[in-house]
Amino acid sequence: MKIKGIKKKHHVYADYTYAPLVFAAPLLAGFSANKPARLTCGVFAFSALSYSLCTKAKWGVVKLIPYRVHAVLDIASGALALVAACLPAIRSDKRARNTFIAMGITGLVVGSLSLIGAQKRKKHIKI
């Protein structure tokens, strides 16, 4: 089985849906009264939107960050979201915790598949 990953031209859909969904997550998931979790979602949304807008890709507005670096930032953001899920103010709120776990898994998966998709065709990963 070959994993082809996410093509650069399709990654934009993940980026520009992730940021607004993370920003709206406290309201959508019902933890808007949890100020630390709400503010942390805002930071994650703002950072994801910022480095998306600064990526060297068709969708980037200010083309500063190479696409592969962007994918690594997605992975790092996913890892940080999983760490954030363990913070006391987030861990104690089931809805917030589960949202941050979902954010973390999303970042890890999308970032990893984007790195794989950025590789040359002959370098597919076989499982």
Domains contained in the chain, number: 1
Q: Residue 126 phi/psi, 5° resolution? A: -100, 140
What is the distance between the alpha carbons of residues 116 and 121, in angstroms, rounded to a whole number? 10
Supply the mean pLDDT for the chain: 91
What does the pLDDT read at residue 125?
58
Q: Along the chain (127 residues), what's the average pLDDT of each consecutive run of 10 residues? A: 81 91 97 97 96 89 92 96 97 98 96 86 55
What does the pLDDT read at residue 53?
93
What does the pLDDT read at residue 36?
97
What does the pLDDT read at residue 7?
86
What does the pLDDT read at residue 58?
85
What is the distance between the alpha carbons of residues 116 and 12, in angstroms, rounded to a whole number? 16
Quote the domain boundaries for residue 84: 2-126
What is each CA distance from 80 to 61, 106, 108, in whole angstroms?
Answer: 25, 12, 10
Residues 35-69 have pLDDT tens digits of: 999 999 999 999 999 999 999 988 889 999 999 99
Cβ atoms within 10 Å of 102's Cβ, excluding its own:
16
Three-state DSSP state, 54:
coil
What does the pLDDT read at residue 99?
98
